[in-house]
Amino acid sequence: MAGKHNHHNGDNPASVWLRDDACMRTIEKLRVLGVADLIPLPQVVVVGDPSSGKSSVLECVTGLAFPRGPELCTRYATQIACRRDASESVQISIIPSQDSNEDRKERLKKFGFSVKKNDLELADVFMKANEAMQLRDINDADASKLPIFAEDILKIEINSPDQYHLTIIDVPGIFRTPTKGLTTNDDIAVVRNIVNRYIKDQRTIILAVIPCNVDASTQEALTLAKEVDPEGLRTIGVLTKPDLATERVTQQIVCELIEGKRHPLRLGYCVVKNRSDDEGASTKTDRNSSEKAFFSTRPWNRIKSTFRIGVSGLGIRLRELLGDLFKKDYKNIEANIRHRLNNTETLLSRLGPSRSRADAQRRYLANIASGFQEVCIRARDGNYSGMGMFQYDVHFRLITCIVNLNEAFNKDLTLCGHTLEFDGQSEEEVGPGPGFRVPMDEQSTRCLGDILKHMDYECPKPVQGLLLNRIEFLFHRSRTAEIGSFPGSLLAQAFKEQTQRWAPLVLKHVSQVIVVIHKFIRITLQRKCEGDSNTFEMLHNHLLLPKLRAAYQRALDHAQFLLEVELSGQPYTMNHYFDSNLQVSQATRLQQAINKAIGPESVRNIDGATASKSSTNASPASGENTLGANNKNETPFDFTSQQEDGSSGAAGWWVPKSMLSKLTTDRSNAKQVREDIHDALRSYYMVARRRFVDVVLQQVIFHFLLDSKTSPLKTFTPDLVMSLDDTMLKMIAGENAAMRDRREALTQNILNLKLALQELEDTK
């Protein structure tokens, strides 16, 4: 039960004080070392309504006279660190909130002063802190737009020979209803957020302050405490203003709360007497004497044996709880410190050695360049094993992305690169299924937007059924007096019109590859700079970006050159596939003519003939004469000869001599030339397209963008680093003020964490 409060199995308060003092001293030493800024340490947070008597409790615990008044109520967290020390001093400072901008942080960090303990006037401290935090003066109507509360922390450090070791935090009083013209519903939420932020930590003792003249079960402080500490392992109640409990029933309730007989808390309650209005100018000794005399009277003297009454009882209980919490959580605190030490040492190691001299800066950049080149070589060759970054981020698999893009480019050019669809059978689809596409990278667009070309181009499908008419139009517009032929310029004109889409397709493809390469370079540099954002920004934006842009432009310029040669020059090829393609086209036309002469399949017999069925049963040895003899009507048909074993033999057409002229005549000169131009154009287009794709990929993609000595991947090398002068080295790799401050802070944190571990070791 909470009423049976044993002090370490019967130890007297003095022995408890001495025993727990070592723990409290260790906690405060860790706090002095700054460990509390890195991991949570045991502390006390005072929670209560604005009129609950929190100021009196703080006065009891710290020995400081807290001012009273609405304009001096707690409007931000106040951290009071009490330490026993031979010298006496009070240090005042402000810790800015995390969401403050840099200017505000710098301004608040400059706030601070020290005074002697006897000269400390907390009312003056609060007024100055309010002004520094730019909080509203409730007496100034013109300041109504300023906030009432702040997320900053006012820190008061007290060193004195008569102090005992303790850190206590006062948070703004909880209120449920806004005050018109002063507070709002938003302020209620702000205060609750501040309170919850402090009491939710598992190493925080919650001091719930409750006036004796109210029902403890209805108090907001206990409600909030229960939300974060449902088992009551960290919550202790402090009853205030017992002199206002004038009715016997109320006094009985207070005594039963202390004894744990009513609304019990696992850690129980303490009761302290507030300084009355008549005692405002009394000394600490006078105040304690008045309290002692008050609790010596009935009915309060019945709870004297609980050691839960007065300033001394509360102080002992707090120190006891903090000491128990520290000893219980000792191993976890030590483990947290070691973990934070390891992380801090890792962060410092990532910064590398100090770079105040040019030789250190050059070594630092050379190491980055060497690591960068190793990744580039692996990414270019597809050697992805043994390096983790290739496994988890597809952007590092450079050659894979580029090969996929190349295949998509070849597919697009094959299927959609010609303006008008060629007559006859289309080419089969090539490459993988859906074309590989590159999502636009905003950072690359920002850096290279004026270089990239046709990134949004979507190539339409070729237009069906118009090419022969277009060729005939060009022929009539360009024909000469030559008989049975067409001018060479006509083929060039038709080819140029058919390849109008090549330029946007090629430039889009090269631009997409540039985006992939640039994103790879940028992400790899970021990885190799390992959090050194200043070096990365200077390296990428100032040293490499101009060189990279020049390399990308060279690739695009060469692509333009290849387009100029292919599209504006005279059609010419030594490739034997041109003749082969032309012969295939002519054979296809002959086949179409024969099929037309034979007639549609729907009227043929089961053997394919339009005439006598017996004609298809001729022996292969009987030859053409036999077939002709059997076909008395001289009707053409297709046939399949039979082998002696009954299997199918050669297949073909039987066409009588009288029909041969019909297969090759009855066509106008314009129609004949039109078909000849079409077949020549198609044959040359197929050869030129394949040649062009290979040249673009080999020269622009692989040479200019990947493999040449001036390619983007070869831009950042150790040789480049060695060529930099000291001024450029300092600008790129020299440590700026922020980096120096970070290095110093990490170094100091490592030192403090090691000292903290040593302090914990000495406490065992």
- Angstrom CA distances, 369 to 359, 363, 380, 415, 540, stand at 15, 10, 16, 42, 12
Q: Per-residue pLDDT tens for 316-348?
A: 888 888 888 888 888 999 999 999 999 999 999
Between strands 166-170 and 43-47, the pairing is parallel
Between strands 166-170 and 77-84, the pairing is antiparallel
Q: Per-residue pLDDT tens for 690-740?
A: 999 999 999 999 999 999 999 999 999 999 999 999 999 999 988 878 888
> Position of tokens 């240090």?
91
Kindly tell me if the per-residue pLDDT of 745 is higher than 60. yes
Instruction: Please state the φ and ψ torsions of residue 738, each to the nearest 5 degrees.
Output: -65, -40
Of 176 and 426, the structure prediction assigns the larger pLDDT to: 176
Q: Per-residue pLDDT tens for 341-365?
A: 999 999 998 877 888 889 999 999 9
Query: How far apart are the C-alpha atoms of 276 and 72, rounded to whole Å?
Result: 18
Amino acid at site 110: K
For the chain, which domains are there?
Answer: 13-328 (3.40.50.300), 366-473+492-571+691-734 (no CATH)
Kindly tell me if the per-residue pLDDT of 415 is higher than 70. yes
SS3 call for 466: coil
Mean pLDDT on 281-300: 82
Kindly tell me if the per-residue pLDDT of 460 is higher than 60. yes
| Percentage of residues in the chain having pLDDT higher than 70 | 78
Q: Which residues pair with 43 in a beta bridge?
A: 204
> Position of tokens 């030192």?
751
Crossing angle of helices 545-568/669-695, nearest 10°? 160
SS3 call for 77: strand
Q: Per-residue pLDDT tens for 572-618?
A: 777 666 666 666 766 666 666 666 656 555 444 444 444 444 444 44
Structure tokens, 302? 């019945």
Between strands 89-95 and 235-240, the pairing is unpaired
Cis? peptide before 299, omega within 30° of 0: yes
Mean pLDDT on 529-541: 88
Query: How far apart are the C-alpha atoms of 321 and 236, rounded to whole Å?
Result: 9
What is the pLDDT, as a whole number, of residue 55?
84
Sequence-ordered alpha helix ranges (H) in 229-271 = 248-258
Mean pLDDT on 115-124: 84
What is the pLDDT, as a whole number, of residue 318?
87
- Residue 308 contacts by C-beta under 8 Å, 6 or more apart in sequence? 5, 258, 268, 269, 270, 271, 314, 317
Q: Which of 107, 11, 123 is nearest to 68 (CA)?
A: 123
Kindly tell me if the per-residue pLDDT of 9 is higher than 60. no
Q: Which residues pair with 420 in a beta bridge?
A: 463
Amino acid at site 126: F
Q: What is the mean pLDDT of the chain?
A: 81
Q: Which residues pair with 251 in a beta bridge?
A: none
Between strands 235-240 and 166-170, the pairing is unpaired
Query: How far apart are the C-alpha atoms of 355 and 362, rounded to whole Å?
Result: 9
